[in-house]
Amino acid sequence: MRFFNTSGPVVAADHYCIPPLERLNLAEVRRLLRDKRYFVLYAPRQTGKTSALLALCNLLNAEGTYRCVYVNVEGGQAGRENPEQVIRTILGALALRASVTLNDEFLLNVWANIFAEFGPHAALQVALTHWARADSKPLVLLIDEIDALMGDALLSVLRQLRAGYDLRPANFPQSAVLCGVRDVRDYRIQSTAENAIIAGGSAFNIKAQSLRLGNFSPQEVRALLEQHTAATGQVFTAAAQETVWRQTQGQPWLVNALAYEACFADDRAEAWPRPVAAEAILAAQEQLIQRRETHLDQLADKLREKRVQRVVEPLLSGSAVRHFADRDVEYVRDVGLVAPDRPLRLANPIYMEVVPRELTWVLQEEFEQETAWYVDAAGGLDMIKLLSAFQAFFRAHSEHWVERFAYKEAGPQLLLQAFLQRVINSGGRIEREYGLGRGRTDLLIVWPQGGHPRKVVVECKVLHQSLEQTIAKGLEQTAGYMDRCGAEAGHLVIFDRREGRRWADRVFHERRMADGGVAIEVWGM
Which 3-state string (H, E, C) describes 24-77? CCHHHHHHHHHCCCEEEEECCCCCCHHHHHHHHHHHHHHHCCCEEEEEECHHHH
φ, ψ at 223 (rounded to 5°): -65, -40
- Fold annotation for 218-291: Helicase, Ruva Protein; domain 3 (1.10.8)
The pLDDT tens digits of the residues spanning 50-104 come to 999 999 999 999 999 999 999 999 999 999 999 999 999 999 999 999 999 999 9
Q: With CA atoms as reference, report the closest residue to 514 among 463, 480, 466.
A: 480
CA distance between the termini of the chain: 56
Distance CA 503, CA 496 (A): 9
Q: Burial, 414: exposed, middle or buried (Cβ in 10 Å; 0-12, 13-18, 19+)?
A: buried
In the chain, ranges of CATH 3.40.50.300 domains: 19-212
The CATH number of 19-212 is 3.40.50.300
Over 80: is that where the pLDDT of 321 sits? no
Q: How far apart are CA 220 and CA 48, in angstroms?
A: 13
Q: Where are the alpha helices (DSSP H) in 145-251?
A: 151-163, 200-203, 218-232, 238-248
- Amino acid identity at 222: R
Alpha-carbon torsion (98, 99, 101, 103), positive or negative: positive
**pLDDT at residue number 388:** 98
- Average of pLDDT values for 231-242? 97
The CATH 1.10.8 portion of the chain extends over 218-291
Cα–Cα dist 88/81, whole Å? 13
Given the DSSP bridges, would you call strands 188-191 and 139-144 parallel, antiparallel or unpaired? unpaired
What is the band of 452 on the pLDDT scale with cuts at 50, 70, 90? confident
Neighbours of 2 (CB within 10 A): 15
pLDDT digits (tens, 9 = 90+) for 466-525: 999 999 999 999 999 999 999 999 999 999 988 888 999 999 999 999 999 999 999 999
Omega prior to 340 cis, within 30 of 0? no
Residues sharing a CB contact under 8 Å with residue 263, sequence separation 6 or more, in sequence order:
3, 4, 228, 232, 234, 269, 272, 276
Query: Does residue 185 carry a pLDDT above 90?
Result: no
Burial 106-119 (b: 16+ CB within 10 A, else e): bbeebbbebbeeee
Does the pTM surpass 0.85? The reply is: yes
- How high is the pLDDT of residue 273? 84
pLDDT > 80? residue 43: yes
Which residue type is seen at 510? E
Hey, what amino acid is at 524? G
